Amino acid sequence: MESWEIAADFFGPQYTMFIVFVVNSFFFMGCMTAAWTSPVLAKLNGTEDNPLGRPISPEESDLIGSLFYVGAAIGPLLFISSVEKLGRKKALILLSFIVPIAYATLAFANKVEIYYICRVALGFYVGAAFSIQPVYVSEIIAADERGYLMSFVSFFSISGLLAAYILGSFLPLFYFNSFIAIFSLIIIVLLAFCCPESPYYVMQFEGKNRAREVLKKLRTKNDVEKELEEIEETVEEEARKSYLELFSTKENFKAFVMATTPLLLQQFSGITVIITYSQLIFIETDVSIPSHQCSIIVAGLQLITTFLTPTLLKCKKFSRKSLLIFTLLGVGFCNFSISFYFFFARNIGYLNWLPLGGLIGFVIFYNCGLDPIPWMLIGEIYPMNIKAVGSAFSASVFSLAVFPLLYSFHKVPMCYMFLGSACCCFLGTLYVKIFVTETEGKSLREIHENILRKTVA
């Protein structure tokens, strides 16, 4: 008996929830890494707790913030073949070792060039892991639970942001970096010894009988034969082909567009700029509350409201499509209000609350669907023959879109930055209304047959 089977027997009916907890910790670490810059750059801009011994320049600040996403764009593409050969679980384990190594290095770094290198390496990890994790989770979870359980990614993502803002603000850099290194090692151990490989991968490389054993451990129901047959047919019909297969048919290209566009809408909503430069944004306002406390308030409210998407999806009254439209409209209006402040209201005392209020509204609307739903679609939309390649390309495009946004932070006035994000959100609502189709409650096979193939016929 393997160690993960012992864990399955120990957790019983809650084993799938345990796996979701462990694997979603990749989003916790990834978002903590993305938000790491907010408190750290504020410290590096000064002289206290600054291991560099001098304040960094605006150009160095933008590079530390943006180079992370250069690595994130490269990581998925370089790691595609490893996913196919090793499997989802082993690929995630291998990638995870980048985190403790990078943060142990940052704990002792005293040159800005080391920060550049570590940020690129951590970006490589996050980009590759974020392209693999949704695929792994979507193949582990049963179809009727997938939307609900995958939506918990928001809780882990925002917990990572809040942890970065709190720990980074109140701990010296050495201890902050050391904490992340130790935490990442714990997650590696849990994944390696307590989680199984995807039943789809097991079916392909270890056979039907072994896949049946995996499914019986993962499902609370006794009869898994119907799902097993679907997995077998999917694996047999959709043998993996070359990387160019992603763009070789209308069906595959449709899947690429359907999976990638919601990620781009998430990105151009302005969320990454807010996460990366939260304290620096508040420093530019006249809010009476200290900038690091404003960041913690926004992240804390965002964490409290992470229950919104799981609750709304669980009650079955709201579809993913309707939630995307609602959240894009709400985030768009919040961006517009912040843009209005930087355009016209910076010197109006009674409007000093507008940036903080706008960002609070932003995160509440964002948690209504814009955070988890695009990542759900990544795991669901792609057929098996292009799933690893497609998710990697989507993650790379997602990361490439971030680099110019972050690198231009000190070069573009904030009023125009938030106005541009507002326009993207409003345009995104039209895209979702016209082009996005619903996948809630459908098996992966049904999605590929009834949504992709019919819509391109």
- Could you tell me which of 391, 400, 393 has the C-alpha nearest to residue 70? 400
Instruction: Assign a CATH topology to domain 3-455.
Output: Growth Hormone; Chain: A; (1.20.1250)
Q: CA 343 → CA 35, 127, 215, 337, distances in Å?
A: 26, 35, 57, 10
Tokens 């120990």 -> residue: 10
Q: Which two tokens stand for residue 216?
A: 């019986």
Q: Which two tokens stand for residue 156?
A: 């882990």
Non-local CB neighbours of 174 within 8 Å, separated by 6+ positions: 51, 107, 108
The larger pLDDT score, comparing residue 334 to residue 289, is at: 334
Percent of the chain past pLDDT 70, that is, above it, reads 91
> Cβ(258)–Cβ(431) under 8 Å?
no
Question: Is the model's pLDDT at 264 over the cut of 80?
Answer: yes
Domain-wise residue ranges, the chain: 3-455
> Cβ(391)–Cβ(377) under 8 Å?
no
In this predicted structure, what is the pLDDT of residue 457? 46
**Taking the alpha carbons of 169, 175, 177, 180 in that order, is the dihedral positive or negative?**
negative
In this predicted structure, what is the pLDDT of residue 302? 74
Question: Against a cut of 0.85, is the pTM above it?
Answer: no
> Cβ(341)–Cβ(196) under 8 Å?
no
Chain-wide mean pLDDT for the chain?
84
- Could you tell me which of 72, 183, 190 has the C-alpha nearest to residue 132? 72
Count of helix runs (H) and strand runs (E) in the chain: 25, 0
Measure the CA–CA gap between 60 and 357, rounded to whole angstroms. 30
pLDDT digits (tens, 9 = 90+) for 334-349: 999 999 988 987 777 7
Q: Specify the length of the chain in residues.
A: 457
Measure the CA–CA gap between 353 and 360, rounded to whole angstroms. 11
Percent of the chain past pLDDT 90, that is, above it, reads 30
In this predicted structure, what is the pLDDT of residue 451? 58
In this predicted structure, what is the pLDDT of residue 450? 63
Question: Is the model's pLDDT at 412 over the cut of 80?
Answer: yes
pLDDT digits (tens, 9 = 90+) for 367-379: 888 877 887 787 7
- Could you tell me which of 271, 353, 324 has the C-alpha nearest to residue 436? 324
Question: Is the model's pLDDT at 333 over the cut of 90?
Answer: yes
